[in-house]
Amino acid sequence: MAGSSSVAIRRPPVSALSAPAGEPSVRGIDRERRRGRGAQTNASGRYEPVARVAFDDGWQSLEELPPFLTTVTVDSTRKIITRNDSPDISFDRSINPYRGCEHGCIYCFARPTHAYLGLSPGLDFESKLFAKPDAPELLERELTAPSYVPRTIAIGTNTDPYQPIERTYQIMRRILDVLERAGHPVGIVTKSALILRDLDILARMAERNLVKVALSVTTLDAKLARVMEPRAPTPQRRLEALRQLAAAGVPTSVMVAPVIPAINDSEIERILDTAAALGVRGAGYVLLRLPLEVRDLFKEWLMANFPDRYRHVFKLVRETRGGKDYDSAWGKRMTGGGPFAWMIGRRFEVACERLGLNAGKTRLTTEHFAPPRKQTEQLSLF
């Protein structure tokens, strides 16, 4: 096995970090070291003073470098509800039980957040995870604050709350237990069939109009899913989760997200047809987003897996982003603009109309909300 070394270089301005308009040069980590991972590289985060670049030094190594194993660090956060005032999303508060995500989806727009931790948005994002085991207790404390006004909490809008380590930590289930006792509405987004573990709680909450769930199905092709989302459940398992959720009376939507030009955009109608046949009554889509480091990671992934499509994919991406790789403008970042983006949106709308999807909007209620009582708190006399 060839040796491996690294060199530290002074970090250039962010604008100079992108690959040229032509085919990028991919300095990938050895395949066996990153087996089951989505990113090809592990470049330093954008806030680090130097960037370390791994390369083959041509010498025979006396020992093999270890693979990227999943590690979990406890995140001792003091607050769990995150607020936002973004004008183009439907919620103003959210909860993220985990930072980083082992699913390894190459397109994940949350990858750049790992740079805030001094880690790489590449392989570190998939392997160096942070869990918030105190989240249920923190949530209970915040819901009991006298000034708290209930509105739907979104979970899964950043990293997946049902990623593999949830089997061990069970943070999400305990969060749902708090929300159920408090009569608090919640909207969940995931791409994991592990959500079925909590079907008992979700079904009870659905009876009180307190929950809605959206599952992301990006493709029906298991091979494409494996290289694009290496540790996420297969498309068939996600579809089965949609079926069981809908059968249990949980308001359920399918998310065709992201739509990647020339990779999975041809499957929009098939995904919607399949989900509607399983009892799903809502649907949504998001066009591929490439903020910050995601752009270069996605370019590397394309060159490694679909080199023949690289130029065509980015030609279409730029057509939807005003000639750029990404446009973060409010109202445009989710759906893009231009003729190709319009066509994607129109195809989605026509398919939904034909299938009766999104015929009615699920509006959750806050009428059941009552601040949860602490176990040591004395009951009211009246």
By residue range, what is the domain housing residue 19? 2-60
Cβ–Cβ under 8 Å, residues 250 and 211: yes
Considering the domain architecture, whether residues 209 and 141 belong to the same structural domain is answered as: yes
DSSP string, 129-179: EEE-TTHHHHHHHHHTSTT----PEEESSSS-TTSTTHHHH-HHHHHHHHH
pTM (2 d.p.): 0.89
In angstroms, the CA 223 to CA 234 distance is: 9
Considering the domain architecture, whether residues 37 and 81 belong to the same structural domain is answered as: no
Considering the domain architecture, whether residues 161 and 185 belong to the same structural domain is answered as: yes
Cβ–Cβ under 8 Å, residues 300 and 40: yes
In angstroms, the CA 53 to CA 302 distance is: 20
Considering the domain architecture, whether residues 86 and 38 belong to the same structural domain is answered as: no
Considering the domain architecture, whether residues 41 and 162 belong to the same structural domain is answered as: no
Evaluate whether residue 106 is within a structural domain.
Answer: no
**Which residues share a beta bridge with 215?**
190, 254
CA dihedral 20→22→27→29, nearest 10 degrees, is 110
Considering the domain architecture, whether residues 28 and 89 belong to the same structural domain is answered as: no
Number of Cβ within 10 Å of residue 370's Cβ equals 11
By residue count, the chain amounts to: 382
Using the 3D structure, point to which of 198, 213, 228 is the last residue of a domain: 213
Cβ–Cβ under 8 Å, residues 340 and 281: no
Evaluate whether residue 182 is within a structural domain.
Answer: yes
Residue with tokens 């446009």: 327
Instruction: Note the pLDDT of residue 376.
Output: 54
Using the 3D structure, point to which of 190, 213, 236 is the last residue of a domain: 213
Considering the domain architecture, whether residues 39 and 138 belong to the same structural domain is answered as: no
Evaluate whether residue 240 is within a structural domain.
Answer: no
Evaluate whether residue 142 is within a structural domain.
Answer: yes
Listed residue (303, 364, 300) closest to 90, CA to CA = 364
Listed residue (81, 67, 177) closest to 123, CA to CA = 67
Considering the domain architecture, whether residues 9 and 28 belong to the same structural domain is answered as: yes
- How would you list the strands of the sheet with 82-83, edge to edge? 82-83, 93-95, 153-155, 186-190, 211-216, 252-259, 282-287
Instruction: Note the pLDDT of residue 18.
Output: 42
CA angle 206, 110, 45 (to 5 degrees): 155
Average pLDDT by stretches of 10, the chain with 382 residues: 50 43 59 90 89 67 78 95 93 97 97 96 97 97 96 96 98 98 98 98 98 98 97 98 98 98 98 98 97 97 97 98 96 95 98 96 95 65 56
By CB atoms closer than 10 A (0-12, 13-18, 19+), residue 186 is buried
Listed residue (135, 258, 257, 243) closest to 195, CA to CA = 243
Cβ–Cβ under 8 Å, residues 156 and 191: no
Evaluate whether residue 208 is within a structural domain.
Answer: yes
Considering the domain architecture, whether residues 92 and 202 belong to the same structural domain is answered as: yes
Considering the domain architecture, whether residues 202 and 90 belong to the same structural domain is answered as: yes
Total count of domains within the chain = 2
HSE-CB at 38 with a 13 A cutoff on CA atoms is 29
φ and ψ of 283, to 5 deg: -155, 155
Considering the domain architecture, whether residues 81 and 6 belong to the same structural domain is answered as: no
Evaluate whether residue 250 is within a structural domain.
Answer: no
Evaluate whether residue 47 is within a structural domain.
Answer: yes
Considering the domain architecture, whether residues 11 and 81 belong to the same structural domain is answered as: no
Evaluate whether residue 44 is within a structural domain.
Answer: yes
Using the 3D structure, point to which of 213, 248, 273 is the last residue of a domain: 213
